[in-house]
Amino acid sequence: MYRATTQAIQVDVEPQFMADRSDPARSRFFWAYTITIANHGGRTVQLVSRHWRITDGQGRLEEVRGPGVVGEQPILRPGETFRYTSGCPLTTASGFMSGEFRMVDENGQAFNIDVPTFSLDSPEARRVLN
């Protein structure tokens, strides 16, 4: 599991390689990732947008921006959590993702929270030790 906390908002990520949706012979690799967002602060917040940086095993970068996550813009009161699962395809056997969520608090104050950088590794990925 990967974790980051920004302004009392904790983001946990659990990636999972999906062999049944992948086809290594055709350079198609797919991961699901489950994200849990927990509001450990004292104010109500809403997730309004996302920004992802997806880097494949050859260093190619793709950026994705959009409203909310999985079609939702969840509101989290103090002590509440929101969990969702999404996916990411790559043409390489490994890569990584990072990003941030744009939040707005109950007073209309906008701020970003970090999504921890997480690794996308398939059983096909060549392991390299530095």
Beta pairing, strands 61-67 & 45-56: antiparallel
Q: Which domain holds residue 43?
A: 2-121
> At residue 130, does pLDDT exceed 80?
no
pLDDT digits (tens, 9 = 90+) for 24-78: 999 999 999 999 999 999 999 999 999 999 999 999 999 999 999 999 999 999 9
Q: Stretch 3-20: mean pLDDT, rounded?
A: 97
Beta pairing, strands 9-17 & 45-56: unpaired
Task: Establish if 12 belongs to a structural domain.
Answer: yes
pLDDT digits (tens, 9 = 90+) for 103-119: 999 999 999 999 999 99
What are the structure tokens assigned to 86, written together? Answer: 């999404």
> At residue 125, does pLDDT exceed 90?
no
> At residue 129, does pLDDT exceed 70?
no
Q: What was the pLDDT predicted at 123?
A: 81
Q: How far is CA 59 from the centre of its chain?
A: 18
Domain count, the chain: 1
* CATH label of the domain that carries residue 44: 2.60.40.1470
Task: Establish if 130 belongs to a structural domain.
Answer: no
Q: What was the pLDDT predicted at 90?
A: 96
Give the torsion through C-alpha atoms of 15, 99, 119, 13, to 10 deg: -30
